[in-house]
A = this chain, B = another copy of it.
């Protein structure tokens, strides 16, 4: 669905350049730039892989935060999308996305009220729990006496080693699943197991071994529930780091990968089965412009701490600078270029593109994607759930 010029103008000063040949180099910056062809190839590659593996794809929309991209993923065959937070689910719902799994617990009283409101409006909302108190609070809010129009779908989140969210596999988890399955307002859907601590293990063999172990824990828990006559329609987890390992484990019903669409410096360091070359392309970059260049050997750009995630050690330059140039943060508003020698430089106005250091929190800083094809700005996609962390 193409964005209207008025809507685009509220998101970026570059809206008026839409469709102008060569506009991709004339943008007001910093700007998040998405290479449409590379994006499409990534989208297709993961979808084809899942279809060939008999695995559903439930892509994590915490990465892209975009209703438009969620639509494209669903159109390509995804079974639904994941979000990390309730606020994201609400925006996805407003945008017409009707199958959303919230992968983190919602524990506050007002949050549970919002979940029930959203469940009344969304065909296929699924929440996760890892704690009996929370499940009881959901059961009370969803009880038939409260007049909810449909049961609330619930997945039990398992901790397979990350210790961030989830309940350890075993008796406690089984009791939690039994409680959910027995609650009239709730509908038990299955299990989630996300091994987030393994996604960026750079060595493939090590990552494979640990990922298969995490999947075995999930499989054992599924079997334990089966013995108690509780069946799991959904076994969800995995990510871009385990995309070609999870099919081998053959436990998951669907894969929660997100970063594969864009890639970033963090994931580009993670080796594939075949070696260091990546299976997915870097489709997302940060475009920035040199704004000052009065000191030999360095130059100042317009992209600093406010324009990219700063949790990575290095900021990789994708294009636009002399060989050997390094990028550094030069404060909240600016970046710096350190050239290989004092006679090398770039004048103010020069344009360069950075690899996204870490895609999820970088996307969260921007109002829109500048979608580019063959050097032309061809579309503007809102980052619809930007900042919706609550």
Contacts and interface: CB of A to CB of B under 8 A. Distances in A.
Interface of A: 12-14, 17, 26-31, 62, 84-87, 90, 104-111, 114, 130-131, 133-134, 159, 163-168, 196, 289-295, 298, 300, 302-303, 305-307, 309-311, 329-334, 336, 347-349, 358, 360-361, 364-367, 386-387, 389-390
Contact of A390 (B30, B90, B295): B30
The 8 closest A-B CB pairs, nearest first, are A84-B333, A165-B292, A28-B390, A107-B348, A163-B295, A305-B361, A332-B360, A105-B291
A178 B286 CA distance: 37
A295 B291 CA distance: 49
Contacts of A309: 305, 310
A104 to B, nearest CB: 6
Contacts of A289: 107-108
Copies of this chain present in the complex amount to 2
B302 A389 contact: yes
A302 B133 contact: no
Contact of A28 (B14, B110, B133, B163): B110
B131 A331 contact: no
Nearest to A295: B163
Contact of A165 (B12, B114, B196, B300): B300
Contact of A104 (B84, B163, B302, B365): B302
A88 to B, nearest CB: 10
Among A62, A111, A306, A336, the one with the most B-chain Cβ atoms within 10 Å of its Cβ is A306
9 contacts: A28-B87, A104-B334, A107-B348, A134-B348, A159-B295, A163-B295, A165-B291, A305-B358, A332-B361
B105 A333 contact: no
B364 A292 contact: no
A347 B364 CA distance: 29
A353 to B, nearest CB: 14
A364 B107 contact: no
Nearest to A387: B367
A306 B347 CA distance: 33
Contacts of A331: 164, 196
A111 B294 CA distance: 20
A179 to B, nearest CB: 15
Nearest to A334: B164
A293 B98 CA distance: 30
A348 B310 contact: no
Among A108, A134, A293, the one with the most B-chain Cβ atoms within 10 Å of its Cβ is A108
A390 B107 contact: no
A387 B360 contact: no
Contacts of A134: 348
Contacts of A62: 332-333
Given A105-B348, A310-B309, A292 B390 contact: no
Given A306-B360, A331-B196, A390-B13, A294 B365 contact: no
Contacts of A167: 294
A114 B13 contact: yes
Given A28-B86, A163-B298, A164-B336, 12 more contacts: A105-B291, A107-B289, A108-B289, A131-B348, A133-B347, A163-B295, A165-B300, A302-B389, A306-B364, A306-B389, A310-B311, A332-B361
B159 A294 contact: yes
A31 to B, nearest CB: 6
Contacts of A366: 387
